[in-house]
Structure formats: C-alpha cells, structure tokens
Amino acid sequence: MGQGKNKNESLLQELIAEAKTQNIDVRTEKLLREVGYRVHSGRCRLKGQELIILDRDASLGDQVDFLAAELRREKPAATGITPHSKRP
C-alpha cells in the first residue's frame, strides 16, 4: 500500500508541475462541508488566473484523477495521460 501511495504522491506533484507550465494555479484546501450539500474539487478563474482547488480530504487517487482529467481537458497531449490511462 505504501508504494502505491508514494506513486500517487509523485504523480500528483508531476501533475501540479504540469499545471504550472500551463499557467494554472493548483491549491489543495480543506473544503468546508455542511448538512445538505457535498463539496468536491473544482476549477474556476480568480482575478483572471485559472485555479484548480483539490479537496484535501479526498484520497490521493481521487485528487490525481481529478487533476489529470482537468489538465487533459485543457491540453490532452501535454499530460501524456490518455482518457484510458489508469493510475497505479
């Protein structure tokens, strides 16, 4: 299990670095939850800057999947991750 976690951490850091090359800021934050709605990672534009916020409480695998999907949507060839790629 530890090896898979390390691979996911490395992959997440690589994806964050790739996002920076695309001028996209990536933040990992604790998203507040309340009764009646479910929060999740998301993407927005803040003062003209693209921003992706990852839910800190989400599993590393979920963070990797979300960030990879967002970067793939932006520049499919840049990530080297195809729609059918699987994480470790």
**pLDDT tens digits for range 55-77:** 999 999 999 999 999 999 876 55
How many CB atoms are located within 10 Å of the residue 81 CB? Answer: 21
pTM, full prediction: 0.74
CA 33, CA 79: separation in Å to the nearest integer? Answer: 31
pLDDT at 55: 93
pLDDT(84) > 50: no
Q: What is the pLDDT of residues 19-42, one digit of tens each?
A: 999 999 999 998 877 777 777 899
